[in-house]
Structure formats: C-alpha cells, structure tokens
Amino acid sequence: MKHKLSSQGIILIRKKGTPMMKSKIWIIFLGVFLLCVFFSVAAVYAAPFAYITNQGDSTVSVIDTSSNTVTDTITVGTLPDGVAVTPDGSRVYVANWFSNTVSVIDTSTNTVTATIPVGAFPIGVVVTPDGSRVCVANFDSGTVSVIDTSSNTVTATSNVGGNPYGVAVTPDGSRVYVGNFDSGTVSVIDTSTNTVTDTIAVGSGPYGVAVTPDGSRFYVANTHDDTVSVIDTSSNTVTATIPVGSVPYGVAVTPDGSHVYVTNSGSSNVSVIDTSTNTVTTTINAVTNPYGVAVTPDGSHVYVANRTSDTVSVIDTSTNTVTDTIAVGSGPGAFGLFIGPAPASNNNGSCSQADLNAAYQRGYTDAVKALTSNGTTECAYYDFFTSTVHIPCFTTGGTNYWLDLGIYSGSPLLLDISNYGTK
C-alpha cells in the first residue's frame, strides 16, 4: 500500500500482489512500536504531584506521589490555605489568607513567579477547565476575584454571599459554585458575565464544594450540622442531605464519579459516600484533624492533609485504608484540588504538559481530540480501545494534523492523516 499526501489528507493506494512477508514485517514493526509507546505513556502518567499548603510556616510541600516523598518546599505568602493546580499542571495558584494575595508557582522550577493582590482573606481557589481563569473566594470581602491566567491580573470581581469558602467549577466551565459559610447558601456564578444567577440554600456553615465529573451534581460539606448537601445542577436544588462525621471540611469526588471523600475534622475520620445511593458506605480512621482532600487522576489514591499532626495520609481507594503517612510542613491545609498531573516527557522533550494532561483527563477514546500540536511536538498517544497510535504530524494554518497508525486482524498496516482541529 502506498500513501500520497494531498491537501485533503492521505490518499490510500493499494498495490496488488504485495508480498505477505512485507505485511508481516510491518506488523512486527508496529507491534514493537506500540510496546514502546505503551511504556513511555505509562511512565508519563505514573507520577502526579501533590501541592500541600502549610499554614504554620507559609510554605508549600511538593509530594511526588510515585514515592510519597516530599521533593521540594516552596515559600509563599502568609498563612496559605486554598490551592489549585492548572489543568496542564504547569502552574499552582495558592491563596494566602493573611497576605490577601495569590501566589503563582511555576511547577517546572517550583518557584513563585507572580503574586496577585485579591480580596480580603482569600481561601478557596479553582481553575477553569480551559486554564484561562482562576476564581478565588475572598472570605472577608464576600466576593470572588477572577484572575486572567495569561496576565495574572484580576479582571473581574463577583459579589456573593457572606464569608465564601469553597469554590468549584462545572466541567464545561460555564458556572462556578461558591459555598457561603455565614449565609448557609451556595452562589452560582455565570462565568460569561461573572454575575450570580442563582442562590441555593444548603446546610449550616457550607465549606468544601466539589463537582462530579459529568457536572450533574455538586457535593457541599456543611460544617455546623455535620452533613453534605447534594445539588442537582439541572435545577439548582438540593436533592439529598447526607449525615457524615463531625465538622466536615473538605470534599473530593473520584474521577469516575462513583464516590465522594469527606474529611471530618471534629471526629478525625473520612466519610466515603457512594454517589449511586448518596449514603456513607465506609468511614476511614487513622487520620488526625483532617482538612484538605484530593484524589489522584487515576482514582487509585486519596490524599488527606492532617492539620494538627503536620502530615498527609494516603488512602488506597481499593481498600479504603491508610497505606502511608507523609511528614510535611506546619499546619497543612491543602484546601482544594491540590494534585496535578504528571510532568510530561518524551523523546525530545517538546511535548507539552497541557497536551498529555488533557488526554489523560478526557479518557482514552477521545484523547487525541483533546491534544494540540505546536508544530514541533513529537509525542505519540496510544488509544487502547481502537488499537490506534496517534502521532502529531504537522501544523498548517493553525490546524493540527495527526498521523494515525492502526492494525486490525487480517488486514495490513493502515495509515491515515486526520485533522482534529486546534481543540
């Protein structure tokens, strides 16, 4: 089979009488190539990092989750608490409660590259799915600051309820949900206008807020009445109230949306909620005054910041038991989505972290559609469900083209060039 490139893509020309041996050689070659790709991709996704804010010493501990060791410590503003990692893993935004600022950490160097003034007593932080904006809840101001990540400046301020704490954003980036601690409500912000379009009554003292991967529900921890409210986003109404432990703070949803992990600071345990029934199915002990909580991108482990013991507990989600305890800085809070993707790597170092992380988060079947190329990218991606290898080929006029290699039972090697656009 010959292949001729045209302006429309690849023209396939089948050549009659091709020897079977040539097909076998191609098949063996592709098999070896697929193995190389599989192991290189596995290596890329193996080690996300956790960024733990330590209130007591105004630092951030960087944990390599492959070894559960602290690999770096970064000095930020005073009394850091809220934290969020950008979808591409390139930056971490940290809310400094007493400094009234947000520190921006470059994860390639683990250094603070910008400090952004926001409202009074910033706490909750969330990054929009496209990475273009960061929303910061300002507790004392009763506002949410909107940061443009291209300039790291505040471009809008939204008025919400009394003493906002936790923030979370829908997967499509269209709405931000804010837990208002003193008001006992959740404000819904339309991100296209940065205005509040709805206010939802929940329990007393709403704190942590988390959304399911499909965007259908938000889970809100109510610290004063020891419950979690479940909000249906189609109607913005509370459809269930779940009793948990004492003084719940943090909330995290697994990537498959099947379970929610809630840190109960007062009872020093973690409640595990089955989202199909909205009931607590497991309570995990061996934690001390737990606060922030986050799940690894593959859903295999949950990391819990223990404020008074200066440690982070690692929970195996297959057994719901604590399998490791990591010493960090003083008074760890880690309030937010503090686990980022693995650093990207490939044969020439040109593949961007954003590309690989987008592929990871969107899943194998449509991962290649999430990838973008800058014309020099040379990372390959293997789609396990279609047995296809996708390789960035070239960029023309701002459009990305991908070389697709696939092999099917009884057929020779198939090549094609696909235009997946610019994302």
CA 354/CA 357 separation, integer angstroms: 5
Q: pLDDT for 140-171, tens place per residue?
A: 999 999 999 999 999 999 999 999 999 999 99
CATH number listed for the domain at residues 61-327: 2.130.10.10
**What mean pLDDT is predicted for residues 235-243?**
98
Residue 198 reports pLDDT greater than 60 = yes
CA 224/CA 168 separation, integer angstroms: 20
Residue 262 reports pLDDT greater than 80 = yes
In the prediction, which pLDDT does 242 show?
98
Residue 392 reports pLDDT greater than 80 = no
CA 404 from centre of chain: 28
SS (H, E, C) the chain: CEEEEECCEEEEECCCCCCHHHHHHHHHHHHHHHHHHHHHHHHHCCCCEEEEEECCCCEEEEEECCCCEEEEEEECCCCEEEEEECCCCCEEEEEECCCCEEEEEECCCCEEEEEEECCCCEEEEEECCCCCEEEEEECCCCEEEEEECCCCEEEEEEECCCCEEEEEECCCCCEEEEEECCCCEEEEEECCCCEEEEEEECCCCEEEEEECCCCCEEEEEECCCCEEEEEECCCCEEEEEEECCCCEEEEEECCCCCEEEEEECCCCEEEEEECCCCEEEEEECCCCCEEEEEECCCCCEEEEEECCCCEEEEEECCCCEEEEEEECCCCECCECCCECCCCCCCCCCCCCHHHHHHHHHHCCCCHHHHCCCCCCCCCCEEECCCCEEEEEEEEECCEEEEEEEECCCCCCCEEEEEECCCC
Query: Residue ranges per domain, the chain?
Result: 2-43+343-419, 61-327
CB 178 within 8 A of CB 194: no
Q: pLDDT for 315-331, tens place per residue?
A: 999 999 999 999 999 99
**More confident of the two residues 118 and 380:** 118
**More confident of the two residues 409 and 259:** 259
CA 349/CA 341 separation, integer angstroms: 16
Residue 180 reports pLDDT greater than 70 = yes
Q: pLDDT for 34-43, tens place per residue?
A: 444 443 443 3
For 362, list phi and psi in degrees, rounded to 5. Answer: -85, -10
Residue 391 reports pLDDT greater than 70 = no
Q: pLDDT for 75-122, tens place per residue?
A: 999 999 999 999 888 999 999 999 999 999 999 899 999 999 999 999
In the prediction, which pLDDT does 26 show?
42
In the prediction, which pLDDT does 342 show?
56
**What mean pLDDT is predicted for residues 241-254?**
98
pTM: 0.74
Residue 364 reports pLDDT greater than 80 = no
Q: pLDDT for 332-355, tens place per residue?
A: 999 999 998 754 433 333 334 444
CA 138/CA 97 separation, integer angstroms: 9
In the prediction, which pLDDT does 286 show?
85
In the prediction, which pLDDT does 12 show?
31
Q: pLDDT for 52-68, tens place per residue?
A: 999 999 999 999 999 99
* Mean pLDDT rounded to a whole number for the chain: 79
In the prediction, which pLDDT does 47 show?
56
Considering the chain, what percentage of its residues have pLDDT values greater than 90? 66
